[in-house]
Structure 1
Amino acid sequence: MLKQKLNFVALIVLVLILVGMSSTVPASALNKQDRKIVVFSNTTDENQVDEILKKHDTEKIKNLPSINGVVVNLSKDNKLRDQKEVKYIEDDFVVSINKKTTNIPEIPPSTVSQIIPWGIEYMEAPQYWGVSNTDNVKIGIVDTGIDLDHPDLVKNIKGGFNAIRNNKSANDDNGHGTHVAGIIAASMNEIGVVGMVPDADIYAIKALDSNGDGYVSDIIEGIDWAIKNDLDILNMSISTTNNSESLHDIVKKANDAGIIMVAAAGNNYGGASEFPATYPEVVSVGAIDENGSIADFSALEGVDVYAPGVDIYSTYLSNGYLSMSGTSMAAPHYTGKLCAELIESE
């Protein structure tokens, strides 16, 4: 009888273990469908694409007309791959921000007299102020959005686009994009900080969510919006270790449209520059500290230039200010420099 009770208890324990194991299985392992970017031949129009997807019972998430593609949920055994009209299929990878650390808590602008952060001084930005008419240059910031009401930025924000939810604003719900925006174009207005080009026109292109993550397809939509709206420079303080043919396709289209693109090299402690920074059409920016030394966290291989990226004080959410480090902070310093130089060359 005791043996039977012990066997029963053992059975209950085994069932509980199995239930516990099943609850820890990643959602991706339970879901047999994967999020993919499908790019079709140039001769395949939208109606034909829809018919092909319907034929293969494939769920479409969004269109990517700029590369004649779509984002879909695709099962591993789906025969869509065998369609002759399909040019290529790849994963819709996740792209993330390149912030490394957060050091100083928010400080309301009312308690802060305007300062020139060390990175702005290091890049010799003040020499351009009042000389270059940088409000003729349109700078897009592909990021988590921008705090659209921040008093140090509101004057320079001229528009935006939300690639995640097209019917929503490009307002920042993370803080990273607002910080990047302040490095580029915080106003000269006696509060907070001053950016590299304090009178430049900036555009918030929200392609990353509140966690600082976004799909490659969202980045593609954001870059496409920049092309259609005739932007001059794009700052992309984002990266992924995965190469994406579709991302490179839209980058090449932006380059052909005359857009200068700058991206964070990555915070991989001496590794290779990541994507999209490593594409030949993009300027890859690594980080240096206040002494001009390369930051220990910065990528090294394939980096084109270095700019300030350690303890960078800039704008943040809720009308605040924050210090951050990362190649994310280095890229906008160089973007601002290119903006000023672009005007000087005209």
Structure 2
Amino acid sequence: MKYGKHVYRVFFIFLCSILIVPCTQNITYGKNSASKKHVIIIFKNNIEKNTITQLDGKVKHSFHSISAIAGEVPQSAISKLQANDQIAKIEPDQKVRVSGQIRDWGVSKVQAPRAWSSHFTGKGVKIAVLDTGIAKHPDLSIAGGVSMVSKSYNDTDGHGTHVAGIIAAKNNKIGVVGVAPDAQIYAVKVLKSDGDGYISDVISGIEWSIKHHMNIINMSFGTLDYSEALKKEVDKASRNGILVVAAAGNHSNSKTSSKTDNIDYPARLSSTVAVGGVGKNLKKASFSSIGKEIEFTAPAVDILSTYIGNQYAWMDGTSMATPFVTGALALLKQEYPHLSNQALIAKLYTSTIDLGAKGKDHYYGYGFVQAPYIKSSFSTSLKTNQSTYKRGNTVQITENVLNANSKKPVSDANVKIVITTIKGVVKNTTTKTNSKGTITYKLTTNSHFYKGQYLITTTVSKSGYNTKIASKTIVLN
């Protein structure tokens, strides 16, 4: 059993571009004058190291190309240095860090950021990553773990660390971010450093997951050989309320027909959620296995995630697609902790993007996974300039549209306006809210307008929001 090395491509990325905090000519340090301060001193002409050493300072670096030195000096020495006419500038030696967090295309494509805005982050959900282990990494929080193949669950291969990052890399403004950044990941090492392992080790890993009350098991590996023992253990995990998500396999090619059935075990088992892979164009990845067991597809090509040695790497494979689905299920599990496995999977079905043939097919299953989210609501205020009119008067309709939670204006929302009487529809038009979340519509009455009551109905809609209908009655005398 292994994770399919023939599509195991790794490109290291070192996030070494930096964001330097700008500083001013005037330097303000702490009140403790005895403390040493890190400074950079730029000289007008030649470097004079004794400028620092004479003041009980220490030179750290010399930069002859810019006539500057970096070092540590007492707070009390700052004013003396500023008075030195040979010094052009003194500035704090600021700390620098990587320039920011990269959001992998897959995380964006499955709409994880939209889920986070609805407070779906996977918080409190326990996920067992059965793999080559997980390495310590600044972008990962490992809640615990166990190894079935060595003394430590530390990852020396990189595969398990990469999978873990797709699921739950921290949303900490550095590196990458996972689909469910607040989920608890557990390293369950069942594969050796070469990516191989035994069914017995996998079974042991599942047993451990049951014993320690995991919510989800991720298995980004497989075999074409059936195991009754593995089936029984997976079924047991499912009966214990654990969602088991597994990679469909990498046995296909772009010319494979939909009739080919080459799904790996354990993904082929009925108690698992089988995951296939797609590329950035949402077309089936050439390597992704095909079969009736596939339930979802997810990003599987050029996926950037955490890697051993505090690095980041790109990899391909259904191994990478699987944790996207695991992460999406973790978001649902957080919101609906008491729902059954089937109910949670059914909820995930409802948000998928149907790909390929309509409905479930052998290439894409039910479709491309989308992270769950809760739509926002509108708060609207519908007004007219009067309540009673005479023929010839102008009816002015105004509606303010706000986000019900933030109370901020919602711009570019569609507002459909329908004006009716007992005789039928008088006006039907659509407009959009401006930057202040407002629409204004004017209608001048004339002799053709019937006297009596008029019903004004507005329907406000926008992607990510629940539709809101409002109405108001006016009278024409």
- TM-score greater than 0.5 by the shorter chain: yes
Higher RCO (CA-CA < 8 Å; seq separation 6+):
1
- Alignment partner of 1:336 is 2:327: yes
Shift of 1:104: 1.7
What secondary structure does 1:277 align onto? coil
* Residue 268 (structure 2) aligns with: 278
Structure 1 counterpart of 2:314, from 290, 299, 323: 323
1:304 Cα deviation from its structure 2 partner:
1.3
Counterpart CA distance in 1 for 2:164 and 2:200 is 22
Contact 2:231 2:266 in 1 (8 A): yes
**Preserved CA contact (<8 Å) 1:98 1:237:** no
Tell me if 1:105 matches 2:12: yes
3-state DSSP of counterpart to 1:135: coil
Q: Cα deviation per residue 1:238-277 (whole Å; 9 max; x = unaligned)?
A: 1001000111111111111110000000000145211000
Q: Determine the structure 1 residue equivalent to 2:218.
A: 235
Q: Which residue of structure 2 lines up, in the alignment, with residue 123 of structure 1?
A: 110
1:199 aligns with 2:105: no
- Retained in 2: the 8 A contact 1:108–1:319? no
Aligned to 2:60: none
**Of 135, 138, 149, which residue of structure 2 is paired with 1:164?**
149
Q: Shift of residue 111 of structure 1?
A: 4.7
**Which structure has the larger Rg?**
2
**3-state DSSP of counterpart to 1:224:** helix
In 1, are the aligned partners of 2:14 and 2:312 still within 8 Å (CA)?
A: yes
Give the one of 114, 117, 130 matched to 1:142.
130
- Residues 121, 181 of structure 2: 8 Å contact kept: no
Deviation of 1:119 (Å): 0.4
Equivalent position of 1:304 in the other structure? 295
Distance 2:313 2:99 in 1: 12
Q: Which residue does 1:132 correspond to in 2? A: 120
CA displacement 1:147-186 (0-9 Å, x = unmatched): 1x20000xx3110010113xx2211010000000000000
Letter in 2 for 1:158: A
The aligned residue for residue 96 of structure 1 is 2
Q: Which runs of 5+ in 1 are unaligned?
A: 1-94
2:49 is aligned to none
The count of residues paired between Structure 1 and Structure 2 equals 247
CA RMSD, 1 decimal = 1.4
| 1:60-83, Cα deviation, whole Å (9 max, x unpaired) | xxxxxxxxxxxxxxxxxxxxxxxx
Cα distance in structure 2, aligned partners of 1:341 and 1:135: 10
User: Unpaired runs of 5+ in structure 2?
Assistant: 17-96, 338-477
* Aligned equivalent of 1:257, options 226, 230, 240: 240
Shift of 1:337: 0.4
4+ aligned runs moved over 6 Å, structure 1: none
1:113, distance to aligned residue in structure 2 (A)? 2.5
Q: CA deviation at 1:135?
A: 2.2
SS in 2 for 1:295: coil
Q: Which deviations, in whole Å up to 9, do the C-alpha atoms of 1:264-320 show, x marking residues without a partner?
A: 000001452110000000000000011110101001112111000000000000000
In terms of fraction of residues, the more strand-rich structure is 2
Secondary structure, in 3 states, of the residue corresponding to 2:175?
coil
Partner SS, residue 186 of structure 2: strand
Offset of residue 101 of structure 1: 2.9
Please report the TM-score for the alignment, with normalisation by the length of structure 1: 0.69
Shift of 1:132: 2.5
Aligned residue for 1:74?
Answer: none
SS of 2:187's partner is strand
CA distance in 2: counterparts of 1:223 and 1:177, whole angstroms = 16
State the SS of the aligned residue for 2:285.
Answer: coil
**What is the percent sequence identity of the aligned residues?**
46
Structure 2 residue matching 1:96: 3-state secondary structure? coil
What is the identity, as a one-letter code, of the residue corresponding to 2:120? Answer: S
Task: Name whichever structure is richer in helix by fraction.
Answer: 1
Question: Structure 2 vs 1, CA of residues 112 and 225 (structure 1 numbering), >3 Å: closer, same or farther?
Answer: farther
Cα separation, 1, equivalents of 2:164 and 2:223: 21
Aligned counterparts of 2:283 and 2:304: Cα–Cα separation in 1: 18
CA positional deviation for 1:108: 5.0
- Answer yes or no: is 1:114 the counterpart of 2:101: yes
**CA contact under 8 A between 1:163 and 1:206: conserved in structure 2?**
yes
Residue identity matched to 1:164: V
Greater shift, 99-108 or 324-333, is seen at 99-108
- Taking structure 2 as the reference length, the TM-score comes to 0.50
Query: Which amino acid is the alignment partner of residue 101 of structure 1?
Result: Y
Contact 2:221 2:246 in 1 (8 A): yes
